Amino acid sequence: GQTCISGACVAQLKDYAKVELVDIEKDASIMHTIELPDDVHASLMIHQKKLAKERSRVRNEQIGRNDQIEEDFVHPSILQLLMHSGNKSTQIAQMRNLCVFFIAMTSNGNAVNWLQEVQGVLDSRRCPILQIIDDDKGVHVIAALNLHESVPEAATVSLDICRDLVGKKVGCAIGLALGSTFCG
């Protein structure tokens, strides 16, 4: 790949990088390749870790966090979310693994009967229907698991819902999107 770098970076990397001057007035160059000797690479990695630790310390001071208490009492996955997402600790309770279903009717039967079968499966897993669409592309249902209440193992429950819908043999095409989202 190529990276745009300033003249100051070019001066620092002159022995290690292949660069092409793009704009003399703006002092901008494109770096095509960089080959660092092992000792320079190792010192760069150490410097990068020190900078990351310092940034983390400053950020924690600004929001009043204590690393030692968190490491002792908070699950590592939650700590990772706090450290990398920029969320305040008060917002972490609203972060959920949201599972959104896109269910299309593929059968030629009665749409009302199909919807009742689909709703029965979704209701059995406490997965509310958010939208019912009946247009020129057919009948579709959009539902979301883990939106209004926190469901442990949401991904597993979502796959169970998909299996149940397929097992009913009512004619469904199912799309599923999973991801962490703020549900405050």
For the segment 104-115, the average pLDDT, to the nearest whole number, is 92
Per-residue pLDDT band at 91 (split at 50, 70, 90): low
Which pLDDT score is estimated for 116?
95
Which pLDDT score is estimated for 10?
77
pLDDT at 89 over 70: no
For the segment 149-177, the average pLDDT, to the nearest whole number, is 88
Q: What is the distance of C-alpha 126 from the center of its chain?
A: 24
Coil/strand/helix, residue 183: coil
pLDDT at 17 over 70: yes
Which pLDDT score is estimated for 138?
93
Per-residue pLDDT band at 100 (split at 50, 70, 90): very high
- Residues 28, 2: Cα–Cα separation, whole Å: 13
The secondary structure of the chain in percent helix, strand, coil, rounded to multiples of 5, reads 45, 30, 25
Residue corresponding to tokens 């092992």: 38
For the segment 107-111, the average pLDDT, to the nearest whole number, is 90
Per-residue pLDDT band at 106 (split at 50, 70, 90): very high
Please name which of 94, 102, 163 lies closest in space to residue 138, comparing C-alpha atoms. Answer: 102
Which pLDDT score is estimated for 174?
94
Do 162 and 155 form a contact (C-beta atoms < 8 A)? no
Q: What is the chain's mean pLDDT, rounded?
A: 81
Which pLDDT score is estimated for 62?
67
Rounded alpha-carbon distances, angstroms, from residue 115 to 6, 46, 91, 137, 161: 60, 59, 36, 16, 15
Residues comprising the chain, all counted: 184
- Residues 131, 110: Cα–Cα separation, whole Å: 18
What is the DSSP code string of 155-176? HHHHHHHHHHHHHHTS-EEEEE
- Residues 141, 118: Cα–Cα separation, whole Å: 9
- Residues 121, 161: Cα–Cα separation, whole Å: 7
Which pLDDT score is estimated for 90?
58
- The bridge status of strand 138-145 relative to strand 129-135 is antiparallel
